[in-house]
A and B are shown apart, each in its own frame.
Chain A
Amino acid sequence: MSGKMNMAKALLRAARRAGAEEADLMISGGSELGITVRMGELDVLEEADAGVVVLRVFKERRMASISATNLGGLDPELFAEEAVALSAFGEPDEFNRLPEAELYATEFPELDLVDETTLPTTEQGVEMARSAEAAALDADRRIDNSQGGLFSRNSGEGIYLTSNGFEKVRNYTHFMLTTVPVARDSADGLVTAYWTEGRRHSADLPEPAEVGRRAAERLLRMLDSRPAPTGEFPVIFEGVSTASRLLRILFGAAAGPAIRRRQSYLIDRLGDRVASDLFTMVDDPHRLRGYGSRSSDGEGLPCQRREVVTRGILNFTPTDVENARRLDIPVTGHGNLGGGVSASNLYLEPGELTPEEIIASVKRGLLITKTLGNGNLNNNTGHWSQACEGLWIEDGEIAYPVSKVTFAGSMDDILGGIDAVGSDLDFNRGSACSPTLRVRSLTLAGS
């Protein structure tokens, strides 16, 4: 057993001695390498090994948690005593307890989340960042500056231990390559765009030149943007950029904490239509090498592939154990350590139209390629107003780029109005992935 596992067990024992009836504990740590190359030169090199320990204690149905970054200097007795002393300030609550032992996962599928090679080296990482940036800079003479090429390598280990018998070590690696070119448009205005690729295994990363090429392509199409018209128009959410936001919002609103806090537009909507019948949303924790993959959830419960929404109908409430108990609903394996809910790999089942065919189907409307900020989302009504930019479509063709546009509508109108789903699902876009989606009509504000 590693030193960290010994430390974890010592802390749990200390918590019990200090008077905790139940406790759980996470020790996570790892190493990080961050490289920024700018205009061909190494700009920043960051390297570190670090970790954190989080201990949660339950005593007389009161709960407290304590965390610290200095694992080596920690006195387990003092740490545990502090946690138990803190718990006295809590209110006794019958829901403050660990999951029952029989709920814990006992089988853990192998998900191939660790790249065992030690590649790329720091020097190779610098070269990859440099190549990605150079490919963007070389793509067009109007691209004459850059915010950099970035490469990062993260590897880590998380130990999760509970006083009622769950024990799991989770390891992961993650590699990212990004570049952010800057161009000058015909009015001498500056415009920027980026492209990023992330993988669990470094060998799965695309060629750096491909990252640069896509960043340049996304940048060049946005030069010389104009305002968009104000009015009601069909709207397309681009698969690789903006469509996944709809999935995240829907998942958050459907989840246990939002329902229980009554901060959701989806209260009492189980079994009802929440999107058009083209909309089938899946959460799949067991994708090999997936960004959000996990063999058990954050609380140690088993998890599996499930359709959250099938042809527009909401199937279940994704939840953690505490909210399942409070709402008296089944557990689903979506809990986070220490509370809350998260999806694993969330995606929308693709349709049959290519993005080009979807664009061609719109007479006059907007392809949204970027959102600016998080926008104004009212959790209670599902009303959403969001600044964005994109490409204006006239007669089925991209006419010109537009910026400083807003769209507004309710989530029910947006998801209910989806009348085309693309075939372009890319699982490498992060923990939520969607193909391109067309929405019948949304309010745009521009000129």
Chain B
Amino acid sequence: MNKEFARYDLDDALISRLLAKALGRGGDYADLFLENQVIRTLRWEEGGVKSAGTSLNQGVGIRVLAGDKTGYAYACELDERTLLRAAETASHIAVNGGGVGVAALQGGTLPQHYPIERPAEEVDLNSKVVYLRRIQEAADTADPGVSKVLASFMEYTRKITVANSEGALYRDTQPMTRLGCQVILERDGKREAGSAADGGRVGLEFYDRVTPESLAQESVRMAQVQLEAIDAPAGNMPVILGPGLSGVLLHEAVGHGLEADFIRKRTSKFTDRLGEAVASDLCTIVDDPTIPNDRGAINIDDEGTPVRKTTLIERGVLRSYMHDRISAAQLGVEPTGNGRRDSFRSHPLPRMTCTCLLPGESSVEEIIGSVKKGLYARIVGSGAVDITCGDFTFNINEAYLIEDGKITAPVKGATLVGNGPEVMGRVTMVGEDFTISPAIWTCGKRGQKVPVNHGQPHVKVSEITVGGSSTGRSADER
């Protein structure tokens, strides 16, 4: 295993020549992004490893900025002729001629946000097959009604080199692993699924703590709860969001709208609102790429800007957007290190890393006890947002009724819908139990997928629309 079957890396002199070529027709700035990502996957199905896979994703992206315009080209081959042609293609965006030169490249050192003891790529695949077998056994043991178990292990190592015409040169190696499980549980002619996964920029030591057994048991538990679930209510009501996973609220309700490409184009609901209240004063929200081993952590962004924790909202007041180079230059601020891309095929966009709502002062008992009739969302799933009008939605996959301050019957999956600033303004309690979500989140924007994460404590939203199917009203006549 681990044979190098592909060339990786370009020498600094060639990088300089490519940047010079990219600026050959003018332009204000050029950068180069070299990526070599090796992904390995094991898929477990029907009681065994169904298939093993390796993917090599390697190439170079070259970008030229000329005023507000972007020229972009990429290539998968690393020979000089192909790369010079890509640089030439990207250069066509500039028409003014002349322009800036290329500064001497100077390597920079980076912080290390992903310290690892046992890198997955250095450990034989057999030990990961064992994880999958342990999932199958634990699921079978947990409930005799388990009829299917799907499991998977994924690991990748993404080596990137970012260099630009201002002389910055950074190299980073970004690891990622993920262990996931899905079960089907059948009982009395009814069938439900449950699933769980975790990982991050972690080595195999992580799975000593989050064990295959714990993921299998959680999946079975979820399916068991669903078998008992009654119809979810429909309409507006108080909703309490559990800790961790439900941070997807932040991602959809405010996060995307604060990505500054939408701000510079004035197409986000949050345009021109710095210094204004955009959430209740219980909300302090940060984007933090520095949390060790987090799925959203990075040491450097994908356009060579050092990363930092950014306070987006402080006690409800909007303090900062998330910037890439272009939006920062247009809006006259420093880039925040949020310029990310899914691969060398794409130019960077402002993206989130790990978005967190900082803890408040309420205890969980207080929060739940405060609701007479409402919903408790324990496990939530994917969401979406219309950044322009601010409407967002996300799924609730495991939820319970709250009646007279107590969690009662489980309800079927549903979806929530609301408007970002409106719903954030209705955050009336924030728990003290801050929790980072399991590492399951991938954010899609303009077709580009990047790993992200989020975290939050228990949160009470005083009113939001719940898309259940139980209204208690009769059908209208048509």
Contact = CB atoms under 8 A, between A and B. Distances in A.
B6 A372 contact: no
A145 interface: yes
Interface stretch (A37-45, A132-140, A164-172): A37-45
B93 interface: yes
A403 B75 contact: no
Contact of B55 (A51, A66, A405, A445): A66
Interface stretch (B293-301, B382-390, B452-460): B382-390
B413 A190 contact: no
A372 B384 CA distance: 6
A132 B57 CA distance: 35
Contacts of A75: 5
Contacts of B275: none
A190 B269 contact: yes
Interface in A229-260: 230-234
B467 A385 contact: yes
B239 to A, nearest CB: 12
A69 B77 CA distance: 8
B76 A376 contact: no
Contacts of A440: 478
Contact of B265 (A38, A79, A234, A378): A38
Contacts of B173: none
Interface string B1-21: 101011100000000000000
A90 B417 contact: no
A381 B86 CA distance: 50
Contacts of B419: 404
A233 B477 CA distance: 8
Interface string A128-154: 000000000000000001010000000
B68 interface: yes
B477 A363 contact: yes
Contacts of A387: 384, 391, 393, 415-417, 467
Given A376-B396, A403-B389, A68 B465 contact: no
Nearest to B59: A69
Interface string A75-87: 1001101110111
Interface residues of B, number: 99
Contacts of A85: 1
A1 B470 CA distance: 63
A408 interface: yes
A83 B339 CA distance: 35
A106 interface: no
A445 B476 contact: no
A156 B182 CA distance: 36
B388 A386 contact: no
A385 B69 contact: no
A230 B397 contact: no
B266 A403 contact: no
B46 A93 contact: yes
B391 A403 contact: yes
A120 B462 CA distance: 54
Contacts of B58: 68-70
A-B complex: 8 closest residue pairs judged by Cβ atoms: A91-B48, A406-B467, A373-B384, A387-B393, A445-B234, A192-B388, A408-B469, A387-B417
16 contacts: A50-B75, A65-B54, A68-B55, A68-B58, A73-B77, A91-B49, A182-B388, A190-B268, A230-B234, A232-B476, A233-B475, A363-B476, A373-B382, A376-B415, A387-B467, A444-B234
